[in-house]
Amino acid sequence: MTSLKEIMSVQQFSDLTLLNVEGDLDREVEMVDITETPDIKNFTAPHSFIVTTGMNYQHDQSGLIDLIRELNDIQVAGIGIKLSRFLEKIDDEVIEFANKLKFPIIRIPESWNLGSITHHISSYILDEETEKLYFALDIQQELNTMLMRGLSLEMMIERMSRLLHVPVMLLNPFYQIKSMSHHFQEHSEQVQKNLSYFKRSLNSNHIPPNNRASFQEEHIIFEVPAFKYFPYYLMVSNVNTLTYPFSLLAIEQAVNTLSLAIYKNSKIKEAEQQEVNRFFETLMSEHPDNLMSVKQHPEFLKKHHIQTSNFYQVIICAIDKEKDVENNIYLNERYQMTFEWLTHKLIDIDPSISLYMSPGNHRFTILLQTKHQYYLDYCKYLQKEYKKLFNSTLSFGIGNEVTEFSQLPLSYFEANEAFDHKSESGEVRFIELYKSKSVEELLQLIPANKLKPFITYTLGSLAYPKTTKEKELKNTLEIYLANHCDLTKTSEDLYIHRNTVKYRIKKCEEILGQPIDAPDTSLDIRLALFASEKITF
């Protein structure tokens, strides 16, 4: 920004003098124009410096008062009057009126030709703007180099701050501080003040896509459009102290580079997360024996955010479907931003909580690895906060807790089933717990490498009979136990003689190696029979 004060401080224009002591020389000058026409209000651009001989006012200077009022109304920087041929001095009434408005009246000496002074001041302004352009490009080039070298956002923000000599803060789409310059570490009380100013500006919709607010303000905020619908924000403080050759363009060029850096970092993280997601999805479909072998490598699991524990519980989370929302760019950005937001929120609750993405169905898998008594309250909290920020709703399906790593896929299955149960009925903003419905589901919780030996040890060759005779014996045993060891009722159900039933039960006891009706073994036999028929390995 070039001011009248800067222009008059240059040796070339040192013979220009201010005629009214209250004139504001800090007014911005963007161009110089010559006029001898009284009615110029509708033909003059803001921040112009008007030069004239005042020939129209040589017999009556009262018209100058009207001219000054009109020029001040359209934010003209000031007026330069050549005092010689037409006007030898400016009347006191004109000076007094200009002082009230703090409107500068500059005396141009007779030695200057109006065309010449217009040319020289315009050249000075152009040269200064050119230098500002070079300065802006230098900042962009330096930040571009840092970007190409893979340096962090934190380092780029700090370098930008040192180049501009002012505090700089970068905020993410959730209005949280992503990075800030050293000024805030030296003056920590300023952090909260800046955040309060930012939130006030946000609430008042005072952040347009390209903020061209006056640099007389203490802060200025720019959108950093790394993402179309979820921008970051750059907040530059103490802008009223910025000095030449600083310009708005310098910040705008920095914003462009920061956008690229944020987008690049986001894509790198997205690619890394995809690998983690794929591993977790594979893990959830693995055979228990393979899961046990994976468990032998804790460092490998740690890389994929899984720790050794005696507690696991899966929660499925998804954004509720909305009518009339078909913008794929918006939906994809929101899905990615929701993942980042959930990650931040869950880490605040417990760093051991892991989060995975399922892009195929746009769901998130939350893995609890320590027991949380209030996990339902966490889900309600997330629903409430998400609505404030994204103006959308979340729903949750919750699986049962398991105590072994090999049982993790079961909790994952339950959480998805609980979510599907509510989602398919059209409900939104729900929190649905999986409810076990039968003994079969309880037996599914037992790892195969423990349940299968129990079946074969208890039933022997009757566990999975191969001959017709063994199948006949097993069927008789099942009906006999179902009838509470009643020979008569069993014979009636099978349409055979009572002695035949007695003979078959005796053969079963020989195979099992123990009496069938003993209280301490009958339950084991019944469970083993049920599992052998219902559970698939």
Residues 303-348 have pLDDT tens digits of: 888 888 899 999 999 999 888 777 788 999 999 999 999 999 999 9
DSSP string, 336-360: HHHHHHHHHHHHHH-TT-EEEEETT
Rounded CA-CA distance 254/256 in Å is: 5
Least confident of 92-96, 240-244, 398-402, 469-473: 240-244
Sheet holding 31-34, edge to edge: 17-18, 105-108, 78-82, 48-52, 31-34
Q: Is the pLDDT of residue 160 over 90?
A: no
The reported pLDDT for the residue numbered 435 is: 80
Higher pLDDT, 86 or 210: 86
The reported pLDDT for the residue numbered 208 is: 52
The reported pLDDT for the residue numbered 10 is: 77
| Reported confidence tier of residue 247, pLDDT bands at 50, 70, 90 | low
- Measuring CA to CA, which residue among 284, 263, 283 is closest to residue 336? 263
Those residues whose C-beta lies under 8 Å from the C-beta of residue 418, and which sit 6 or more positions away, are 316, 397, 398, 399, 432, 433, 434, 435
Residue with tokens 């594979």: 282
Write down the pTM of the prediction: 0.60
462 and 491 Cβ atoms separated by less than 8 Å: no
Averaged pLDDT for residues 274-302: 78
342-376 confidence digits (pLDDT tens): 999 999 999 999 999 998 889 999 999 999 889 99
Does residue 394 sit in helix, strand or coil? Answer: strand
Q: Is the pLDDT of residue 213 over 50?
A: no
The reported pLDDT for the residue numbered 215 is: 45
The reported pLDDT for the residue numbered 437 is: 63
423-479 confidence digits (pLDDT tens): 988 899 999 999 866 677 677 777 878 888 888 888 888 888 989 998 999 899 899
The reported pLDDT for the residue numbered 293 is: 67
The reported pLDDT for the residue numbered 323 is: 80
Least confident of 14-18, 143-147, 244-248: 244-248
382 and 322 Cβ atoms separated by less than 8 Å: no
392 and 302 Cβ atoms separated by less than 8 Å: no
The reported pLDDT for the residue numbered 127 is: 63
- Measuring CA to CA, which residue among 37, 38, 241, 16 is closest to residue 29? 16
Q: Is the pLDDT of residue 6 over 90?
A: no
The reported pLDDT for the residue numbered 210 is: 46
- Measuring CA to CA, which residue among 482, 466, 465 is closest to residue 474? 465
Q: How far is CA 478 from CA 391, 455, 469, 504, 518, in A?
A: 58, 14, 14, 12, 15
Average pLDDT, the chain: 86
Q: Is the pLDDT of residue 88 over 80?
A: yes
| Reported confidence tier of residue 212, pLDDT bands at 50, 70, 90 | very low
379-432 confidence digits (pLDDT tens): 999 999 999 999 999 999 999 999 988 889 999 999 999 999 899 888 999 999
Q: What percent of the chain has pLDDT over 70?
A: 91
The reported pLDDT for the residue numbered 40 is: 83
140 and 257 Cβ atoms separated by less than 8 Å: yes
Q: Is the pLDDT of residue 264 over 70?
A: yes
Q: Is the pLDDT of residue 126 over 80?
A: no
Q: How many beta carbons lie within 10 A of that of residue 115, not counting itself? A: 10
| Reported confidence tier of residue 30, pLDDT bands at 50, 70, 90 | confident
- Measuring CA to CA, which residue among 393, 356, 406, 353 is closest to residue 375? 353
The reported pLDDT for the residue numbered 124 is: 74
The reported pLDDT for the residue numbered 214 is: 42
Q: Is the pLDDT of residue 217 over 50?
A: yes
